[in-house]
Structure 1
Amino acid sequence: MSETAAPAEKERYVRPLSSESRGDAPARGRLKGRRILVVGGGQRVVDAATDPIGNGRAMSVLFAREGALVAVADVNLASAEATVTKIGIDGGKGVAIEADIAKPDQIARMIGEAEAKLGGLDGLVLNVGIGVGPLGLQGANADDWDKALAVNLRGPMLCCKEALPKLAEGSSIVFISSIAGMVAGSRLPSYDASKAALGGLMRHVALEGARRGIRANIVAPGLVDTPLGRLATQGRPSRGASPTPFGRQATGWEIAYAALFFMSDESVYVNAQTLAVDSGITGIS
């Protein structure tokens, strides 16, 4: 009896990188004349020689490329300035602002400075989030919980409270959350809980903002190849091995294009919604 060879296993599909995925698609003027504050527009440095672009920097550069004046706020001023330099090299215009939104007294200054430097505000992106403490509920403690919620939830709330009266009619607010707010996975209860609660905050901001045509929506990234993501993988190697429907992690540019949709008039009738940018992890996995 002859033996029959087992069929070769089909190679896993890997979604190719488009020009948008790489951040080299041509601009189309989608934000011409807009004045946008990106909170968290710098990025962590893990390996300066190999770091990919982070979500906040990609959004800042992309918005400016599409015609917006951009204020880049970050707890690390040098990082915010590096983003502004990249904006300038790319032909856009931006200003850097130092601010720590875990400190309430710095939020009003940040919003006021952005409004003054840009000549008004038409858009606000809240790209902030930290995960602190040991993994699991048994490793959680009150101090780490308070630190995470101060940045991930209280900070965005205070930013919206301060910015909403100053935003022009028809403006857009985009919260950068995480699919950790939709499905369990980060193993950091404070992070998961704060990102889930961000949905409630977003819906309330959308409710109040609707009176003046101000929209609020969430972009919820899945696994993204950013410096912060690589740092997270160092602490939890299983993250890097997690399967995704498209066979790879997202790029920071792919998150930026989702935010661009919400910031532009292409989404003018979309309000109080959450868009998961995760290749389908939350829907089909």
Structure 2
Amino acid sequence: MIETFAYLIGRSARNRLARQLRRLRQPRYSVALAAGLAYIWFIIAFQRPGPLAPEVLEARWLEPAVAVAVAALIAWAWIFAVERRVLAFTPAEVTFLFPAPISRRQLIHFKLLRRQLVILVNTLVWTLLLSPRRFDASAWLRAGGFWVLFTTLSLHRLAASYVRTSLSAHGLSAARRRVVSLAVLALVLLGAVWVASEAWAPLAAGWNAGIGPFLAAIGAALELPATRVVLAPFRAMIRPLVAESAGEWLGAMGSALVILALHYIWVVRSDA
């Protein structure tokens, strides 16, 4: 079955690429492509690490800051989740796959596998942009971290849309089936309220005192016990990206892969 899926994905990608190449006969597409390639070449060829302050480069600041950004992306997915369309099938896929002896779970696996094409492209782009030494071992390690992060985020957005769609369509009966997902969501919301109650007063005082004290208050808020507890899973997801050695990266990848596996199980079972 994997060979069949690989063939269909490969042919679909080839046909899409052929359509895009035919568009290059039109000047507006060819000029846009040339400009885009020139920009990417400039970034890759001439970008150098900037003279950032040491405290910005320290993982103790970078890791919680990126974790907050990841948490914001996940919150956006719960509020505006539209990722269920990733499992929409094209007419060609319906004709080719639906009459075949393929289970519902195998169809989901096919669409998730196809999703990897986009994730791999994003992984390549971000690795090239954010790796000062783009072709050494550290770049490959960072690419692995990006792949785990992007795959986990994609799975989470999809699972969140399942929960939202199920609740809106079936109401209380769906809530009983999604009790674990809703319980975890409730815990996260309670954690967010806990963090807000702990950090609000220092942040307000720092804001009134000026930009320097406000930034210091943000740093202190990120180190609060409540914040560390709430951000723990998000920090685990991005820790491979800020690892400073191969050994540290291997240790961080364990937790990140566990979170990825849990999201995969969540998606597969959510659509059951």
Would the TM-score normalized by the shorter structure come out above 0.5?
A: no
Larger radius of gyration: 2
Q: What is the TM-score normalised by the length of structure 1?
A: 0.23
Q: What is the TM-score normalised by the length of structure 2?
A: 0.24
Higher helix share: 2
Greater relative contact order: 1 or 2 (C-alpha under 8 angstroms, separation 6 or more)? 2
Higher strand share: 1
